[in-house]
Amino acid sequence: MYADTEMAPASATSPPAVSDRLGRPLRDLRLSVTDRCNFRCVYCMPKDVFGPGHAFLPKSAVLSFEELTRVARIFVEQGVEKIRLTGGEPLLRRDLPVLVNMLAQIENLKDLTLTTNGSGLATLAKPLHDAGLHRITVSLDALDDAVFRAMNDVEFPVHRVLNGLDAALESGFAPIKINMVVKRGVNDHQIVPMARHFQGPQFILRYIEYMDVGNTNGWRMDDVVPAGEILSNLGESFDLRQLPPNYPGEVAKRFRHANGGGEIGIISSVSQPFCRSCTRARLSAEGQLYTCLFSSVGHDLKPLLRSGMTDEKITRVIRSLWKDRSDRYSELRSAETTALPKAEMSLLGG
């Protein structure tokens, strides 16, 4: 079916969603607020590529808070229910709580969340919570300080992220999702210690298969620890029970500790792709709309936003781009697709 189709509203208050060629509604928007980061995670912004001479976006190229809020509102009017702020490192964007406050006022937005490396949470958790941020996800790949430093590649100590997590809990963000990208031979021995540390109702730990995003991280299938292996590794130390999805299209397979000690998720983007239920659009910090994490090019919305175009016209452009979407990269992954040019994760937001 060519997907010029209006989906039924997800709830009584949702506007009708636009759906793509595979019948997938537009429900989630990831807004990248900066392409800069204070970490150089080996799987995302390797130092040899993102070195001191790297040209990041100039300030004038980055969407303003007003532009971000306007475009976010248009997306929500088209059925988006959840917005995640990302980057780069979103906490590096100056005055981020001001943006959060503006976004939090968008009518019908059900979920406003943020993914961060946690380095700035000790000071920003409370202002972000006060500004109306609903939830946070903190990326943390190891508890072992040496392993963590090797993965962030800027000698950032793990205790500062743990302090940030404490501040986030004190500010009222619970449960907090923890994202751990698992890379074979680098941090796979941290799978069980992480589960032990983040056991309990305050955290939801999610293991993420290392992905071939971008073209700079030297990804090899051999470096991926598949979900099944992560699970059997965990099974040796914990008694886990699978949970049903929270909602259709949830990307993580969820498990609970049988002893009531909280929840764990595994995101198997490589070994068991979930393209069929992918409802996410991504907007880069400079306003490029990507309909897949593995797209090579985006669709530039900035000239539309800066040329005085009406909301109606911008809405038509967004709807038409989504209707034309047929992406399912992970389902089609092969040696050939891995070698194709792709936008970097730090540009379009994870």
Q: Catalog residues that contact ligand SF4 under the rule CB under 6 A.
A: 37, 39-41, 44-45, 87-89, 117, 139, 273-275, 278, 292-294, 327-330, 346
Judge contact between 157 and 151, C-beta under 8 A: no
User: Would you count residue 117 as binding ligand SAM (CB under 6 A)?
Assistant: yes
* Residue 211 binding result from ligand SF4, ligand SAM, none, given CB thresholds of 5 to 8 Å by partner type: ligand SAM
Residue 36 contact partner, candidates ligand SF4, ligand SAM, none, CB within 5 to 8 A by sort of partner: none
How many chain residues bind ligand SAM (CB under 6 A)? 20
Triad 182, 293, 9: Cα angle to 5° = 110
* Smallest separation (angstroms) from ligand SF4 to the CB of 343: 11
- Non-local (6+) Cβ contacts of 319 within 8 A are 18, 78
Which is closer to ligand SAM, CB of 117 or CB of 288?
117
Strand order through the sheet with 253-257: 240-243, 253-257, 263-267, 203-209, 176-182, 135-139, 111-116, 82-86, 28-32, 280-283, 288-290, 299-300
Q: Per CB under 6 A, does 213 bind ligand SAM?
A: yes
Name the token pair of 323. Answer: 């209707």
Report the nearest approach of ligand SF4 to the CB of residue 87 (Å): 6
255 binds, among ligand SF4, ligand SAM, none (CB under 5 to 8 A by kind): none
C-beta closer to ligand SF4: residue 5 or 38: 38
CB of 346 to ligand SAM, least distance (A): 6
* Sign of the dihedral through C-alpha 182, 185, 191, 197: negative
Q: Is 262 in the site for ligand SAM (CB under 6 A)?
A: no
Select 106 or 181, whichever has its Cβ closest to ligand SF4.
181
The mark string for 85-114 relative to ligand SAM (x by CB under 6 A, - otherwise) is -xx-x-------------------------
Is 50 a binding residue for ligand SAM by CB under 6 A? The answer is no
Summarize as ranges the residues that interact with ligand SAM (CB under 6 A): 37, 43-44, 86-87, 89, 115-117, 139, 179, 181, 208, 210-211, 213, 217, 345-346, 350
